Amino acid sequence: MVQSMKLPLEDNFEDLIGKAQKGLKFTDEALAFRAGIPVASLTLLKQGSLLEGPLRQVAPLLNLHAETLLAIARKTWSPAPAEVTGLLHFNTHYAEFDMTVNHFIVFDPATKTAAIFDTGTDPAPTLAAVAEHGLQVESIFITHTHVDHVLALPALRTAFPQAVVYCGRGENLADSAAVDHGFRYTIGGLQVEARETSGHAVCGMTYVISGLAQPVAIVGDALFAGSMGGPRTSWETALNHNRQRLFSLPADTVIAPGHGPLTTLAEEKAHNPFYPEFKPSSNPAMKEKIAFVGVGRMGGNMARRVREVGYQVSAVYDVNPAAAAEVAAETGATVCPTLAGITAAADIIFTVVTNDEAMRGIFYNPEDNLFMGAAGKTFINCATLTPQVHIDLEAAASKIGASTIEGCMASSIPQAREGTLQLMIGGKKTVFDQVEPLLKTMSAVLTYVGEAGQAAKVKALVNMVMNINTAGLAEGLGLGAALGLDLEMLAKVFSVTGANSRVLQTDGDDMIQREHSCFFRADHAAKDSHIALSLARDAGLNLPLAAATAAQYDRMVELGLGELDKSGIAELTFKNRQG
């Protein structure tokens, strides 16, 4: 079992304030001014005087969660003891700074094969434990090379000459094997995965061990119970690495830090003030739990925005597990392996998928779908789809006591992140009224269009006209280039004449420079053009410009250019390009 060790938290509340302030590069004067408090009050806080009012005003400016920071200040929280057979915990004194430091042994209980993680300051407890448990030490892993973590390394090298020493490549530890992010190793029947968690250290490494009763993450100084290492190299990197590479681990993962008590990921999500995104909102107007199906660049940024304004993002699902894990780590959500699990975890579910087929798959797959257990739930469907799909979904939802609306978007990736989407809503007005406060936090313009299917029709026309404009601009610039005209001059003239358009602003330079990083995919443009053409056929209209534009985007798909931005249509109109 873990050796029982009741250690105090590594940091007091004033340490957290100081670390965050240093990391964000606030002077005392600037922080106090923005918080609306006297500098003297900030000074008292940083000296350890608990002033609740000033603390609450300072915390959000430092991206700290005020309630959990207060709990640490009042000493009302400490992590519950964690016990895992195969993990030994040691805490030794570092006299130079009158502090203590942790190190660990992990061993396979079946084979007694073992590895040492960091060394602490005194080799004696390690040597005694190896002898007591009859362990075979094959390796020594170093999380980072700050002196308190490696002081006993020379003695342990002597005691275990066969043991290979592993350390992050950027730490430049002499006579060690360099470790990169993603490195894997085995300790008997246990698996070790290295995850770079730099920011406090130049190339800090967390070692995640699986195969014991619970996952274990030996994190060095990347994360402490209720805190984290200070900003020695990059505060932003430290926070982001932790979010993406530690907070994406299972909730029962035991966190074995370089200082202070053991904790778990669940404890840190609930109680670590540095990660407010994992705490439920205290705003009663934001009580709903929100989930997302489809967290690519649009859906992922929508989830980030929703969490940022205070809603709880409870769950995410994506066919790309890496995308789901990344967004979950940033928003505090759980990655759900099933669609039914998404529905169970949330009150409101956003879907952001690619086409009609994908939409039918997530709602009607008989083995796993969003309508399972969906009574009382609301679905906001944001993909550009055939209007009939939305009409059918609303009818199917109504039969099981659920609600759906269409939330069609006439915006792109940056607007999703900034909360400035242009949203067109179709469906029952009563459902729209219920979710309007949420949608307002995501949009600059929010328009209720009408009953189910109506917003999809408007969106199809928006994209049809946009695609025609894009194709027209590509032809104009392509012809200008063929005529030897200066394209910057030509674009300037376009911008002050009847040739001006929103597309000229967003895509003109990209067409000239052949910069087609994707904000709206060409294959999606082709799909949306065909939705509009289908509506036109049903209405008995012939739309030759829309048809010609659809043919151009179809041609892009045929040439393997469908994943380029829609501006890539210029590759078909400029001489000596793809066309």
Tokens of 215: 């996952």
Which neighbouring-strand residues pair with 166?
141, 177
Sign for the CA dihedral angle at 409, 414, 419, 420 comes to: negative
Contact yes or no for 488/519 (Cβ under 8 A): no
Return the axis-axis angle of helices 522-538 and 454-482, rounded to nearest 10°. Answer: 120
pLDDT given for residue 280 in this prediction: 73
pLDDT given for residue 1 in this prediction: 39
pLDDT given for residue 2 in this prediction: 43
Which neighbouring-strand residues pair with 216?
209, 254
7 domain residue, yes or no: no
Domain identity same for 215 and 340: no
CA distance 357 to 284: 37
CA distance 213 to 574: 62
255 domain residue, yes or no: yes
Contact yes or no for 80/111 (Cβ under 8 A): no
pLDDT given for residue 282 in this prediction: 67
CA distance 288 to 335: 18
Picking from 254, 274, 294, the residue at the C-terminal end of a domain is 274
**What are the pLDDT digits (tens) for 281-315?**
666 667 899 999 999 989 999 999 998 888 999 99
**What are the pLDDT digits (tens) for 507-542?**
999 999 999 987 888 998 999 899 999 999 999 999
Phi, psi of 301 (to 5 degrees): -70, -30
Picking from 230, 258, 274, the residue at the C-terminal end of a domain is 274
Domain identity same for 311 and 426: yes
82 domain residue, yes or no: no
What does 336-353 look like in DSSP terms, one character per residue? PSSHHHHHHH-SEEEE--
**What are the pLDDT digits (tens) for 341-391?**
999 999 999 999 989 999 999 999 999 999 999 999 999 999 888 999 999
CA angle 218, 258, 91 (to 5 degrees): 110
pLDDT given for residue 83 in this prediction: 86
6 domain residue, yes or no: no
% of residues, the chain, pLDDT over 90: 85
> If DSSP codes are grouped into helix, strand and coil, which group holds residue 381?
strand
Domain identity same for 434 and 556: no
Selection from 139, 149, 155, 147 nearest residue 119 by Cα:
149
> If DSSP codes are grouped into helix, strand and coil, which group holds residue 548?
helix
Across 198-215, average pLDDT: 96
What H or E segment, with its residue span, contains residue 54?
Answer: helix 52-58
Which neighbouring-strand residues pair with 404?
379
Name the band, by pLDDT with cuts 50, 70 and 90, for residue 579.
low
What does 470-510 look like in DSSP terms, one character per residue? HHHHHHHHHHHHHTT--HHHHHHHHHTSTT--HHHHHHHHH
Across 196-222, average pLDDT: 97
Q: Which residues contact 366 (CB under 8 A, 6 or more apart)?
A: none
Domain identity same for 402 and 383: yes
Contact yes or no for 449/456 (Cβ under 8 A): no
Selection from 316, 279, 319 nearest residue 300 by Cα:
316
Sign for the CA dihedral angle at 103, 108, 109, 114 comes to: negative
Domain identity same for 448 and 462: no
Across 254-270, average pLDDT: 96
pLDDT given for residue 285 in this prediction: 67
Name the band, by pLDDT with cuts 50, 70 and 90, for residue 177.
very high
Contact yes or no for 371/320 (Cβ under 8 A): no
**What are the pLDDT digits (tens) for 45-55?**
999 999 999 99
Domain identity same for 137 and 169: yes
**What are the pLDDT digits (tens) for 431-468?**
999 999 999 999 988 999 999 999 999 999 999 999 99
Write the CATH number for 328: 3.40.50.720
Across 316-333, average pLDDT: 92
Tokens of 256: 């074995």
CA distance 425 to 452: 9
pLDDT given for residue 32 in this prediction: 93
Maximum average pLDDT range among 238-252, 356-370, 410-424: 356-370
Q: How many domains does the chain have?
A: 4
CA distance 505 to 495: 8
User: 3-state SS string over 285-338?
Assistant: HHCCEEEEECCCHHHHHHHHHHHHCCCEEEEEECCCHHHHHHHHHHHCCEECCC
Name the band, by pLDDT with cuts 50, 70 and 90, for residue 30.
very high
467 domain residue, yes or no: yes
**What are the pLDDT digits (tens) for 57-101?**
999 899 899 999 999 999 999 999 988 999 999 999 999 889 999
Q: How many CB atoms lie within 10 A of CB 276?
A: 21
Residue 9 has pLDDT above 70, yes or no: yes
Amino acid at 195: R
Rg (CA), the chain: 28
Contact yes or no for 221/144 (Cβ under 8 A): yes
Domain identity same for 250 and 113: yes
Domain identity same for 138 and 261: yes
Domain identity same for 132 and 235: yes
Tokens of 336: 């759900």
Across 28-52, average pLDDT: 94
Picking from 74, 106, 127, the residue at the C-terminal end of a domain is 74
pLDDT given for residue 329 in this prediction: 86
Write the CATH number for 476: 1.10.1040.10
**What are the pLDDT digits (tens) for 222-237?**
999 999 999 999 999 9
Give the structural domain span for 153: 87-274
Domain identity same for 225 and 120: yes
3 domain residue, yes or no: no
Write the CATH number for 204: 3.60.15.10
Q: Is the pTM of this model over 0.75?
A: no
Q: What is the DSSP letter of 446?
A: E
CA distance 231 to 240: 12
168 domain residue, yes or no: yes
Write the CATH number for 25: 1.10.260.40
Domain identity same for 287 and 397: yes
pLDDT given for residue 108 in this prediction: 97
Domain identity same for 192 and 253: yes
Name the band, by pLDDT with cuts 50, 70 and 90, for residue 3.
very low
409 domain residue, yes or no: yes
User: 3-state SS string over 88-106?
Assistant: EEEEEEEHHHCEEEEEEEE
> If DSSP codes are grouped into helix, strand and coil, which group holds residue 226?
coil
Q: Sort 579 into a burial class: Cβ within 10 Å, 0-12 / 13-18 / 19+.
A: middle
**What are the pLDDT digits (tens) for 534-567?**
999 999 999 999 999 999 999 999 999 999 999 9
Give me the chain's average pLDDT, please: 93
What H or E segment, with its residue span, contains residue 395?
Answer: helix 387-399
Tokens of 137: 């030490």
What does 244-293 look like in DSSP terms, one character per residue? IIITTS-TTPEEEESSS--EEHHHHHHH-TT-GGGSPP--GGG-SEEEEE
